[in-house]
């Protein structure tokens, strides 16, 4: 079933062509011009406390599995072949991870989709989750909270991040291959922040960042970046893999403290445990 969902996601990706950049995606699908679109520029000075947010409960993310890496017109995608789940964090339900993918720049250009106070990071990793009770994306898209996406920034450090060694090696070899490439003995957690450090994050209700731009995504963007060495970053710059970033259509959310133009009816709030939130026009689910 996960493979069917991944193929469905891939079908949206394949809408993209060299002549249809992110600024024109609303011509591909009207939803891409909606008022709950991602990514966003998060203005930190406008944050406020949000006591509804709590730490996440991650189950099965450390389970080791074999999987495949897909290359498409948009990015690379790694299927998460495990029965992991996530809850907590004021998510209204339990979600299961489907895949993660990366956004990066080339030739030294920064490539994150979300920005913090207008600043881009070199890379961004997204983990896409679906509500555990759903078996298809069609069901999830009918639910304003059907999908949950985790966004992690990656920044340069002085030391190699060994957790990324096997993935970088595979991505270096996938350039000249067609079809999927296998990667063995990995876990979802190895590519993320340690769970105990995932307590500072931004939250808003948004969309997929590519067509069909479905507005059914609860976004969690973590403040603390994942380190990647300068050498590893240079290696990614050499990947001859097409990548499309939606950063050129990033929305500034909000432009004022509350109620200002361009906010799409939203305000920023900061949890007292340094957990941060950007609620959207749609009402956030209340904690139990």
pLDDT of residue 76: 83
Residue matched to tokens 């307590």: 199
pLDDT of residue 230: 85
Note whether 254 and 267 are within 8 A (CB): yes
Residue matched to tokens 């067509």: 211
| Element (DSSP H or E) covering residue 202 | strand 201-206
Q: Does a structural domain hold residue 104?
A: yes
pLDDT of residue 26: 78
Dist. CA 156–CA 288, nearest whole Å: 39
The enclosing domain of 229 has a CATH number of 3.10.200.10
pLDDT of residue 141: 94
pTM: 0.81
Note whether 154 and 35 are within 8 A (CB): no
Is 70 strand, coil or helix?
Answer: strand
Parallel/antiparallel/unpaired status of strands 85-88 and 123-131 = unpaired
Dist. CA 103–CA 109, nearest whole Å: 11
Q: Does a structural domain hold residue 259?
A: no
Q: Does a structural domain hold residue 244?
A: yes
| DSSP letter for each residue of 207-276 | --SSTT--S-EEEEEESSPEEEEHHHHHHHHT-------GGGGPEEE-SSSBS-TTSTT-B-EE-TTS-E
97 Cβ partners below 8 Å, 6+ apart? 61, 80, 82, 84, 86, 127, 128, 129, 188
Note whether 267 and 257 are within 8 A (CB): yes
Q: Does a structural domain hold residue 210?
A: yes
Range of the domain at 126: 2-38+56-250
Q: Does a structural domain hold residue 276?
A: no
pLDDT of residue 72: 72
Q: Does a structural domain hold residue 283?
A: no
Q: Is residue 254 reached through a cis peptide bond, with omega within 30 degrees of 0 on the bond before it?
A: yes
Dist. CA 104–CA 234, nearest whole Å: 11
Number of domains in the chain: 1
Phi-psi sector, 92: left (phi>0), alpha (psi -120 to 50), beta: alpha
Dist. CA 40–CA 21, nearest whole Å: 17
CA angle 75, 187, 170 (to 5 degrees): 45
The pLDDT profile of the chain, 288 residues, written as one tens digit per residue, is: 555 455 445 444 434 433 456 777 777 778 888 888 888 888 887 766 677 888 999 999 999 999 998 877 667 889 999 999 999 999 989 999 999 998 887 666 778 989 888 899 988 999 999 999 999 999 999 999 999 999 999 999 999 999 999 888 887 777 666 678 899 999 999 999 999 999 888 888 889 888 888 899 999 999 999 999 888 877 766 555 545 555 444 444 432 222 222 333 334 343 334 555 655 434 444 444
């Amino acid at each position: 079933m996960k493979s069917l969902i991944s193929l469905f996601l891939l079908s949206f990706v394949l809408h993209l062509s060299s002549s249809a950049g992110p600024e024109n995606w609303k011509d591909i699908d009207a939803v891409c011009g909606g008022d709950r679109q991602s990514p966003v520029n998060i203005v930190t000075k406008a944050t406020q406390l949000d006591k509804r947010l709590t730490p996440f409960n991650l189950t099965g993310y450390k389970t080791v599995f074999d999987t495949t890496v897909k290359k498409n017109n948009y990015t690379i995608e790694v299927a998460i072949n495990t029965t992991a789940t996530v809850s907590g964090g004021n998510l209204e339900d339990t979600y299961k991870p489907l895949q993660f993918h990366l956004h990066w720049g080339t030739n030294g250009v920064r490539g994150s989709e979300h920005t913090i106070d207008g600043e881009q990071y070199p890379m961004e990793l997204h983990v896409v989750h679906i509500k555990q009770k759903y078996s298809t994306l069609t069901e999830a898209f009918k639910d304003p909270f059907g999908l949950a996406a985790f966004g992690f920034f990656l920044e340069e450090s002085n030391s190699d991040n060994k957790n990324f060694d096997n993935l970088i090696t595979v991505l270096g070899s996938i350039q000249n291959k067609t079809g999927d490439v296998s990667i063995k003995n990995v876990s979802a957690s190895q590519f993320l922040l340690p769970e105990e450090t995932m307590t500072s994050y931004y939250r808003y209700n948004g969309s997929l960042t590519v067509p069909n731009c479905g507005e059914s995504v609860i976004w969690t963007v973590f403040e603390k970046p994942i380190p990647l060495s300068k050498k590893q970053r240079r290696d990614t710059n050499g990947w001859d893999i097409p990548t499309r970033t939606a950063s050129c259509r990033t929305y500034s959310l909000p432009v004022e403290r509350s109620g200002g133009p361009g906010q799409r009816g939203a305000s920023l709030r900061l949890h007292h445990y340094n957990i941060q939130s950007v609620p959207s026009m749609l009402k956030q689910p209340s904690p139990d």
